[in-house]
Amino acid sequence: MAKYFDVHPDNPQPRSIRQVADSVCEGALIAYPTDSCYALGCRLGSRDGIERIRAIRHLDDRHHFTLVCQDFAQLGQFVRIDNDVFRAIKASTPGSYTFILPATREVPRMLQHPKKKTVGVRIPDHVVTQALLAELGEPLLSSTLLLPDEEEPMTQGWEIKDRLDHVLDAVVDSGDCGTEPTTVIDFSGGEAEIVRRGAGDVSRFE
């Protein structure tokens, strides 16, 4: 049964955030709100968490997981960015974008695309997510909470608790969050390739 954390959207309770972060550090799989929609999240090196996300979403090994980072400095530890790409990403963060980039050695092999050696990264513009990332001191390994055969991601904490109670360890609910997945931009080839049009404005990348 998943623990349910009712967190204030603008002033998240430090005790609740600390409890969620502690559970992640101990191997928990959580559902948490972002500026785009709800996501599944676990600790960066958690093989069990990765397999549980794959099972919930029916994902294959070509799926790009996302490292949700607190800030640009943290993001830069996990991906290689040249100067032109740096400026484009810097201008778009924090925000509802996921960027696919070549992974550094800091990224476990099991998170990388098996052929391209790439990984998704993003910096969310969401108070509760940022508080959780600050408490963790490391990125959350994440994937959009989009269930198999469903076109829309889940956006209500109580519904997630009700439907996924048996496969999650915790649900963080801070009320309304985004309702559309991130826009995904692939920079791994040097030029911007729009992989998915979502919550982030794509005009600057076209």
pLDDT of amino acid 140 = 97
Cα 76 to Cα 8, 34, 69: the distances in Å are: 30, 21, 9
Between these two residues, 62 and 120, which has the higher pLDDT value? 120
CA atoms of 198 and 184, how far apart (whole Å): 7
Give the total number of structural domains in the chain: 1
- Residues counted in the chain: 206
CATH number of the domain residue 159 falls in: 3.90.870.10
Q: Which residues contact 83 (CB under 8 A, 6 or more apart)?
A: none
Q: What is the mean pLDDT of the chain?
A: 93
Q: Which residues contact 160 (CB under 8 A, 6 or more apart)?
A: 31, 38, 145, 154, 168, 171
Residue 115 in this model has a pLDDT that exceeds 90: no
Residue 158 in this model has a pLDDT that exceeds 90: yes
Average pLDDT score over residue span 81-98: 92
According to the per-residue pLDDT averaged within each range, which of 24-28, 63-67, 202-206 is highest?
A: 24-28
Domain with 71 in it: 3-205
pLDDT in tens, 182-196: 999 999 988 899 999
Phi, psi torsion values for 74, nearest 5 degrees: -70, -40
